[in-house]
Amino acid sequence: MKRWVGWAAVVGAALVLAGCGRGVDGRKIAHPPEGEWLTYGRTYDEQRFSPLKQIDKATVGKLGLAWWAEFDTDRGQEATPLVHDGVLYATTAWSKVYAFDAKSGRRLWAYDPKVPGEKGFDACCDVVNRGVAIWRGRVYVGTLDGRLIALDARTGKVAWDVQTTDRERPYTITGAPRVIKGKVLIGNGGAEYGVRGYVSAYDADTGKLAWRFYTTPNATGAPDGAASDEVLKAKAAATWSDGVWKESGGGGTVWDAITYDAVNDLVLIGVGNGNPWNHKLRSGGKGDNLFLSSIVALKPETGAYVWHYQTTPGESWDYTATQHIMLADLKIAGQDRRVVMQAPKNGFFYVLDARTGQLISAEKYVPLDWATHVDLKTGRPVEAPFARYTNGGLSTQMASALGGHNWQPMAFSPRTGLVYIPAQLNRGAYADPDRFKYTPGAWNTGVIRAAQGPHAHPRFKPGAGEATGELIAWDPVTQTRRWSVAFPHQASSGVLATDGGLVFHASQNHLVAYDAATGAPLWRYDEGARAIAPPATYVIDGEQYVAQMVGTGGAGGRDAPRTMGRLLVFKLGGTAKAPAYPAAVVPPPLDLKLATASKGDADKGGEIFANSCAMCHGGAAGYHPDLARSPAILDPEGFRAIVQDGALKDRGMASFARFFSVADTEDLRAFLLWQAAHPPTGPARPAAAHAQ
């Protein structure tokens, strides 16, 4: 009897220890309980496939809202909710972390890392965050200002907080950490501005740096004392020539994909674009520039290099290979192969051998014209003659810098054998600038960017803007599409596949459940706003839930109105209702009679707008305020207070005093007043809301 009580105590203690993330370790992430979602891509293979099937083709019609939560930010929401032991962990824009009772939606705790608002300036593509990692009683988050923070999973209290980047440089973190063999792996972003990319591994218990792998050589030629030293010297250095990379760091940030192959014991990192984008400026037009736009395999304990595959040698178009890296076991030509799959921005779907990195196949998953095909012998794309826009050339090519596929995660169903790609069709214009000077801290792409109307750069004619989306069911064995659904916009949501024979994906405010085999839509729910984040699914007390963060933003997702971020959670028979969002307000045209006339040079202002403002405020992007309809441009003092003095820095509008002068600011105002007097035809953009 005594012995039995003793056993009960041991079992009881083990159950307590299993609570709140204590039970999550590598074995569990590789083979999770079917009702849980323990890492960004659900398991280390990152297939985003759930074995749950209570919600299936027959029952999905009864799916309804179980609970919802609204957050305090209207910026892009990209997080995948993780679920363990009845608790759902999600992050929002500005790197905030929330824990909810996954059944009732009751908020258990919230954590705000207090990222300074002006840090938003350093984020090319919004102040987003893609989620947490869970490991042995802790939750880990990377913050926009470059910190990696360990929180107690039960309370949200900080266990440790380390700076992973140089705060003086425009590094950001938007990606989710991954925990592999007791080490927390995290990368960073900033390659549009000018940084040197790397991935770091920290001890999960202590926060001590274990190893770091740089993706580009050190311009000084000196070793970094990092895991990358040997391979950068032996393989990468000779692929770089003289150019701006020596000042800028060369780019190559690891801002999203970090995948662990537990079978081959390899970490696979996805490496981003070069800085500047323009290969001619970056490296004199010479060399492959390793390891830009590559998948690199490393040993998890040491960060030692094992293999790499470069998708875009001599990258010159922002064709990152940071996109989702997925592992699967496929039968190819009668052989069982363990493969790595990726649909990077350059528009080719790659299947590689997971152990060696050897290219098995590569085909276009969207229409492209920058390259005709990938040569299977050399593993290199065969470029169209116009693609390199040097020496006065111009290329309006598919795909654009937003890519045939961006960060939105794909899903793979081992049942159908299909990869579901949230793809996009877009055309980008690239031209070589007449002059270029690297400006620390600013955008340094080395590519001409357009202003508008008579103020447009004379050589720059934007291409036809095919900016549409597709959900593609892709057969990775035959490299052909099985079915697809088209949307009138790009940047739709990430994807979830389930053993209920379903694929969940959102576009145009609607979360839709498709038949995974045929693409037939079986269920549709109006979320009230556009979602870009991938849905996840889990089970509590025998009921299956589907959860998705709602709220657009991010890269290319800024053509819809800003709405407060929400988390929507569904189950069969759910009857909850989230209140409707307030209607988007379209600001009226300015009464220019109220404007103080400007003596500034509107042509010069147009150039400043194109170089420094258009990324957030220009073109079709209706996400940040349309300055031509902003009362802020009516008077010079108020405008200067915002642009030069940083009056709105807490909302992400940092001071531009380090980039242009008071006189330049008045030139910019002259251009914006000209724009206000020459409005484009077509519908006006809704105003951005006034939350952060």
State the minimum distance, in angstroms, from the CB of residue 446 to Ca ion.
13
Is 122 among the residues that bind Ca ion (CB under 5 A)? no
State the minimum distance, in angstroms, from the CB of residue 218 to Ca ion.
21
Which listed range, 316-324, 538-546, 556-564, 591-599, lies at the site for Ca ion (CB under 5 A)? 316-324
Is 273 among the residues that bind Ca ion (CB under 5 A)? yes
State the minimum distance, in angstroms, from the CB of residue 555 to Ca ion.
8
SS3 for 43-56, per residue? CCCCCCEECCCCCC
DSSP 125-170: T-S-----EEETTEEEEE-TTSEEEEEETTT--EEEEEE-S-TTS-
State the minimum distance, in angstroms, from the CB of residue 202 to Ca ion.
25
State the minimum distance, in angstroms, from the CB of residue 401 to Ca ion.
7
Which listed range, 63-71, 271-279, 549-557, 579-587, lies at the site for Ca ion (CB under 5 A)? 271-279
Number of Cβ within 10 Å of residue 390's Cβ equals 15
Which listed range, 265-273, 443-451, 614-622, 673-681, lies at the site for Ca ion (CB under 5 A)? 265-273
Which of 318, 527 has the CB closer to Ca ion?
A: 318
At 465, list the tokens.
Answer: 């803007």
Q: Is 318 a catalytic residue?
A: yes
What residues numbered 550-589 form the site for Ca ion, per CB under 5 A? none
Q: Which residue has the tokens 């981003």?
A: 272
Number of Cβ within 10 Å of residue 115's Cβ equals 23
What residues numbered 199-218 form the site for Ca ion, per CB under 5 A? none
State the minimum distance, in angstroms, from the CB of residue 109 to Ca ion.
34
Which of 201, 254 has the CB closer to Ca ion?
A: 254
Strand order through the sheet with 63-70 = 63-70, 566-572, 543-550, 536-540
* Cα 200 to Cα 215: distance, rounded to the nearest angstrom: 11
- Cβ atoms of 118 and 652 closer than 8 Å: yes
Q: How many residues bind Ca ion (CB under 5 A)?
A: 2
State the minimum distance, in angstroms, from the CB of residue 46 to Ca ion.
21
The contact pattern for Ca ion, residues 50-89, with x = CB under 5 A and - = no contact, is ----------------------------------------
Which listed range, 49-57, 314-322, 381-389, 605-613, lies at the site for Ca ion (CB under 5 A)? 314-322
Bridge partners (DSSP) of residue 451 are none
SS3 for 283-350, per residue? HCCCCCCCCCCEEEEECCCCCCEEEEEECCCCCCCCCCCCCCCEEEEEEECCEEEEEEEECCCCCEEE
State the minimum distance, in angstroms, from the CB of residue 312 to Ca ion.
12
Which of 204, 423 has the CB closer to Ca ion?
A: 423
- Name the burial class of residue 682, with classes exposed (0-12), middle (13-18) and buried (19+) by CB atoms within 10 angstroms of its CB: exposed
Which listed range, 113-121, 273-281, 439-447, 489-497, lies at the site for Ca ion (CB under 5 A)? 273-281
Which listed range, 18-26, 214-222, 270-278, 653-661, lies at the site for Ca ion (CB under 5 A)? 270-278
**Any residues with CB less than 8 A from the CB of 60 and at least 6 apart, and which?**
500, 502, 513, 522, 523
State the minimum distance, in angstroms, from the CB of residue 277 to Ca ion.
8
State the minimum distance, in angstroms, from the CB of residue 602 to Ca ion.
30
Q: What are phi and psi of 677, to 5 degrees?
A: -80, -15
Which listed range, 60-68, 259-267, 318-326, 511-519, lies at the site for Ca ion (CB under 5 A)? 318-326
Q: What are phi and psi of 412, to 5 degrees?
A: -130, 130
- SS3 call for 588: coil
- SS3 call for 228: coil
At 378, list the tokens.
Answer: 């050399």
Which of 273, 507 has the CB closer to Ca ion?
A: 273
Set 122, 261, 318, 667: catalytic member: 318
Bridge partners (DSSP) of residue 539 are 544
DSSP 476-521: TTTTEEEEEEEESSS-----EEETTTEEEEEETTEEEEEETTT--E
* Cα 299 to Cα 313: distance, rounded to the nearest angstrom: 24
Q: How far is CA 578 from the centre of its chain?
A: 27
State the minimum distance, in angstroms, from the CB of residue 272 to Ca ion.
6
Beta-sheet pairing, 394-398 with 411-413: unpaired
* Cα 309 to Cα 291: distance, rounded to the nearest angstrom: 9
C-alpha gyration radius of the chain: 25
SS3 for 76-88, per residue? CCCCCCEEECCEE
Which of 276, 476 has the CB closer to Ca ion?
A: 276
Is 228 among the residues that bind Ca ion (CB under 5 A)? no
Is 318 among the residues that bind Ca ion (CB under 5 A)? yes
Number of Cβ within 10 Å of residue 61's Cβ equals 12
- Cβ atoms of 175 and 159 closer than 8 Å: no
- Cβ atoms of 186 and 197 closer than 8 Å: no
Which of 419, 447 has the CB closer to Ca ion?
A: 447
Is 310 among the residues that bind Ca ion (CB under 5 A)? no
Which of 318, 666 has the CB closer to Ca ion?
A: 318
State the minimum distance, in angstroms, from the CB of residue 646 to Ca ion.
25
Q: Which residue has the tokens 């323990």?
A: 38
**Catalytic residue numbers?**
318
**Residue numbers at the binding site for Ca ion (CB under 5 A):** 273, 318
